């Protein structure tokens, strides 16, 4: 493992990660499995439930996203949900076994009055005994501190792709904006959930660039969601060909090897994957999923299918 001269954190260059991605598949998966076993019980997978608390009408132009107001995707724009309605969903998620409740809002960044409401949701979900995660765009230091005071456990903010490919997908905010938000969240003492999307037409080198950037953050993210693009009609990426499942597993394995202590979440795109492809992801070190029939606006793999898959694989879901 490469060592940096300026930090005790091992740093990964893009070339290091590209070399991992290019390994013969059995070698790559064996390395990922070995790292996984050194830090986690490979028979356990963490489950989180996702709720869109504010859907659609977003001013950003993320080329993959059905919630951008720029694209005709049929997604209906809603206002922020009422606190009580969110808490009812959280209670239902808890009954189904989820220990973390993730709330997503289609904002560029939250306004002050919205932040107050989200803080009330965080306090309410915490009082049910669940962990909380929120994703709602860019945050200042002050906003991050408010969320921390409300008890927020995780903030999700993705880098999405490599610094070089990023501009082909999003023009309304920069890669540096994202890094700044991640630094604010980290400095406020909130755990970081940060990953990306593959299958957006990027090259192997961009996948290496994304993983190397994530693994080289001052402190790597505690949670790393790896999304396979869900190509939604009306978005600029609607016609994008689905990523080869073996290439997807390679990205999961590289995330596991370079971020050994992080939870690697097999995120969007599971519904379109076979059981066999998901099983390979779990072998390669994925140890978290979104559980529940819906992601934010698109369908997720159904709970009954997930239960059957866990049963077949002898995997225990845990909170």
The C-alpha atoms of residue 215 and residue 232 are separated, in whole angstroms, by: 29
- Any contact of residue 118 with ligand DTB (CB under 6 A)? no
Chosen residue from 75, 100, 103, 104 binding ligand SAM by CB under 6 A: 104
Residue 68 binds which entry of ligand SAM, ligand DTB, ligand SF4, none, CB below 5-8 Å type-dependent: ligand SF4
Among 49, 68, 191, 227, binds ligand DTB (CB under 6 A): 227
Q: Considering the rule CB under 6 A, would residue 104 count as an interface residue with ligand DTB?
A: yes
Whole-angstrom Cα distance, residue 98 to residue 91?
Answer: 10
Token code pair at residue 297: 């606006």
Residue ranges binding ligand SF4 (CB under 6 A):
58, 60, 62, 65, 67-68, 106, 137
Taking the C-alpha atoms of residue 10 and residue 191, their distance in angstroms, rounded to an integer, is: 19
List the single partner that 35 binds among ligand DTB, ligand SAM, ligand SF4, none, CB under 5 to 8 Å by kind.
none
Dist CA 29 CA 36 (whole Å): 10
CA distance 281 to 246: 9
Residue 66 touching ligand DTB (CB under 6 A): yes
Nearer of residues 161 and 267 to ligand DTB, judged by Cβ: 267
**Residue 229's binding partner out of ligand SF4, ligand SAM, ligand DTB, none, with CB under 5 to 8 Å set by partner kind:** ligand SAM
Q: Which of residues 36-75 bind ligand SAM (CB under 6 A)?
A: 58, 64-65, 67
CA distance 265 to 13: 22
Please identify, using beta-carbon distances, which residue of 134 and 249 lies nearer to ligand DTB: 134
| The only residue of 48, 68, 132, 158 in contact with ligand SAM, by rule CB under 6 A | 158
- In angstroms, the CA 85 to CA 275 distance is 33
Q: Does 158 bind ligand DTB (CB under 6 A)?
A: yes
Q: How far is CA 130 from the centre of its chain?
A: 18
Residue 102, SS3 per DSSP: strand
From the list ligand SAM, ligand DTB, ligand SF4, none, partner contacted by residue 297 (C-beta under 5 to 8 A by kind): ligand DTB
Is 272 a binding residue for ligand DTB by CB under 6 A? The answer is no
Closest by CA position to 285, among listed 196, 224, 197, 229: 224
Burial class (CB in 10 A: 0-12, 13-18, 19+), 304: exposed
Q: Which residues are catalytic?
A: 58, 62, 65, 102, 133, 193, 265
Query: Is residue 229 close enough to count as binding ligand SAM by CB under 6 A?
Result: yes
Is 225 among the residues that bind ligand DTB (CB under 6 A)? yes
Question: For 165, phi and psi rounded to 5 degrees?
Answer: -85, -20
Q: Which tokens belong to 75?
A: 């997604």
Q: Among 147, 216, 156, 131, which Cα is nearest to 188's?
A: 147
**Chain contacts with ligand SAM (rule: CB under 6 A):** 58, 64-65, 67, 104, 106-107, 135-137, 157-158, 160, 197, 227, 229-230, 232, 268, 296
């Amino acid at each position: 493992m490469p060592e940096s001269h300026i930090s005790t954190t091992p740093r990964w260059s893009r070339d290091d990660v590209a070399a991992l991605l290019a390994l013969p598949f059995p070698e790559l998966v064996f390395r990922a499995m070995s790292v996984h076993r050194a830090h986690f019980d490979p028979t356990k997978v963490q489950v989180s439930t996702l709720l869109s608390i504010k859907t659609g009408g977003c001013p950003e132009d993320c080329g993959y996203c059905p919630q951008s107001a720029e694209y005709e995707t049929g997604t209906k724009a809603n206002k922020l949900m009422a606190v009580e309605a969110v808490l009812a969903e959280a209670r239902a998620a808890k009954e189904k076994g989820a220990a973390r409740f993730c709330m997503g809002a289609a904002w560029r960044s939250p306004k002050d009055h919205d932040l107050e409401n989200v803080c009330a949701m965080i306090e309410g979900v915490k009082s049910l005994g669940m962990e909380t995660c929120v994703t709602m765009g860019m945050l200042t230091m002050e906003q991050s501190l408010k969320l921390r005071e409300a008890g927020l456990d995780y903030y999700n903010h993705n880098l999405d792709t490599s610094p070089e490919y990023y501009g082909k997908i999003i023009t309304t905010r920069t890669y540096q904006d994202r890094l700044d938000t991640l630094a604010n969240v980290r400095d406020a003492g909130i755990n970081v959930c940060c990953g990306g999307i593959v299958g957006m037409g990027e090259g192997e080198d961009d996948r290496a660039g994304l993983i190397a950037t994530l693994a080289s953050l001052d402190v790597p993210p505690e949670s790393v969601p790896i999304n396979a693009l869900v190509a939604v009609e009306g978005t600029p990426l609607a016609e994008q060909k689905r990523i080869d499942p073996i290439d997807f597993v390679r990205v999961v394995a590289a995330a596991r090897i370079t971020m050994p202590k992080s939870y690697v979440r097999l995120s969007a795109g599971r519904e379109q994957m076979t059981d066999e492809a998901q099983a390979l992801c779990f072998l390669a070190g994925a140890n978290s999923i979104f559980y529940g029939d819906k992601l934010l606006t698109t369908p997720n793999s159904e709970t009954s299918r997930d239960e059957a898959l866990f049963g077949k694989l002898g995997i225990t879901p845990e909170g």
